[in-house]
Amino acid sequence: MGLKIGVLALQGDFREHAWAVEKLGAQAIQVRRPAQLEDLDGLIIPGGESTTIGKLMAQYGFIEAIPAQYKRGMAIYGTCAGAILLAKDIKESDQPRLGLMDMSIRRNAYGRQRESFEVTLDIPAIGEPGFPAVFIRAPYIEELYGTARPLATYRGHVVMAQQDRLLASSFHPELTEDTRVHAYFLALAASRGG
């Protein structure tokens, strides 16, 4: 039986994440109800609008259900808006969030949609060569504490971090053909309960 990876499908670019997961040979499940979190090895929270996704998560009961499944061993990966929702502290915002990851994050740190850009990032954890990272209204991580550690930086700011089975990135790996970041997450999910 292969890995079962959920992609939170309330808003945002969940289809692209599902495609990347399936390309790597895992089963992708579009999650719209908390009951669908049962028996998942991992969950991806996609980019989109973090305030909207946070409100929908609160409305449908995900704010309680996702941390409960994480405690049972489910890995979680948040990209862009998803990373914001994982953070314990969101600068200048009291929006709903999961608050699982020991980090402080700043929304829209790189400007508006028109300031979107792509750069090649060095991410030693996934190997060489550099990774083509797409930033769209991206946040950056201002501070990591506890057991959270940086995996990649851009211009002095952390843009990818890990804490146990939690992974967060400011950029959108699902918008490239390079599946190494998703493969790294699937390896985390495969170590469920380990």
| 49: annotated active-site residue | no
Three-state secondary structure call for residue 143? strand
Q: Give the pLDDT score at 92.
A: 83
| 157: annotated active-site residue | no
Residue 97: give its domain's CATH number.
3.40.50.880
Q: Give the pLDDT score at 111.
A: 62
Q: What is the dihedral of CA 26, 32, 33, 34, to 10 degrees?
A: 50
Contact 91/85 with Cβ under 8 angstroms? no
What the block records as the tokens of 63 is: 């704010």
Instruction: From the candidates 38, 174, 177, 182, give the one annotated as an active-site residue.
Output: 174
Nearest to 90 by CA among 143, 47, 149, 165: 143
Q: Structural domain tally of the chain?
A: 1
Instruction: From the candidates 16, 17, 80, 182, give the one annotated as an active-site residue.
Output: 80
Using CA atoms, how far residue 53 sits from 46, 124, 189, in Å, is 9, 31, 23
Q: Give the pLDDT score at 194.
A: 41
Q: Give the pLDDT score at 107.
A: 82
| 17: annotated active-site residue | no
Per-residue pLDDT of the chain (194 residues; tens, 9 = 90+): 589 999 999 998 899 999 999 999 999 999 999 999 999 999 999 998 899 999 999 999 999 999 999 999 999 999 999 999 999 999 888 889 999 999 999 886 666 656 689 999 999 999 999 999 999 888 989 999 999 999 999 999 999 999 999 999 999 999 999 999 999 999 999 986 44
Contact 11/52 with Cβ under 8 angstroms? yes
Range of the domain at 62: 4-190
Instruction: From the candidates 92, 115, 157, 172, give the one annotated as an active-site residue.
Output: 172
**Whole-model pTM?**
0.95
Q: Give the pLDDT score at 116.
A: 83
